[in-house]
Structures are given as C-alpha cells and as structure tokens.
Amino acid sequence: MSVPTMQRDIIFRMFRRRIIGGVHKSREGICGWFRKDLRGEAKDALDDLVKSGLVIEKPTSYGKQYSLNRDRLGDIIRIIEEHLDED
C-alpha cells in the first residue's frame, strides 16, 4: 500500500502515542507535531486519511477529534512497517 510521506508520518506518530479507537486528539494537536511550514500539508494529509478510513473523525462539543481506526490496524501496521523498512 503506497501512502504519501506526510500521511505515513501522521499514522506513525499517532500509533506511537497510542491514539487508537477511544483515545483521540484534536487537529491542532496533531498538526502541532510538525514545523509551522508543514502544518498546512499535515491538515490536508489528515483529511485524506479520514477519507481513506485509516483515521476516524469524531465530532465532540469542543471540536472534531481524530484517532486511528481500530478496525484498520492491520493496514496501519503494514504502512508503519513499510515506513520503517525504507529508513
């Protein structure tokens, strides 16, 4: 599965921090992991991950929250392993 670099970085960082299923984080919190000049790209990548179903978007009273899709953990782990093999 070929995934763009920014999307892989977001998946890897969310997985490393165990943001899976019921644990969630805001868009600003996720994009804050990156340098300021990359945050726009990170927002677009997060939107693409939601569209692909790898990340779940949860509406809350305090804004949208994001977490890795527990049902797609097999795909997520494969993406992470490919990412680590490249490095």
Per-residue confidence band for 48, with pLDDT thresholds at 50, 70 and 90: very high
Closest among 2, 5, 32, 3 to 17, alpha carbons compared: 32
- Please tell me the predicted confidence (pLDDT) of residue 50: 96
- Please tell me the predicted confidence (pLDDT) of residue 64: 95
pLDDT higher than 70, residue 67: yes
| Cβ 29 vs Cβ 64: under 8 Å | no
CATH of the domain spanning 5-86, picked from 3.30.420.40, 3.40.50.300, 1.10.10.10, 3.10.105.10: 1.10.10.10
- Please tell me the predicted confidence (pLDDT) of residue 82: 85
The rounded distance, in Å, linking the Cα atoms of 79 and 1 is: 7
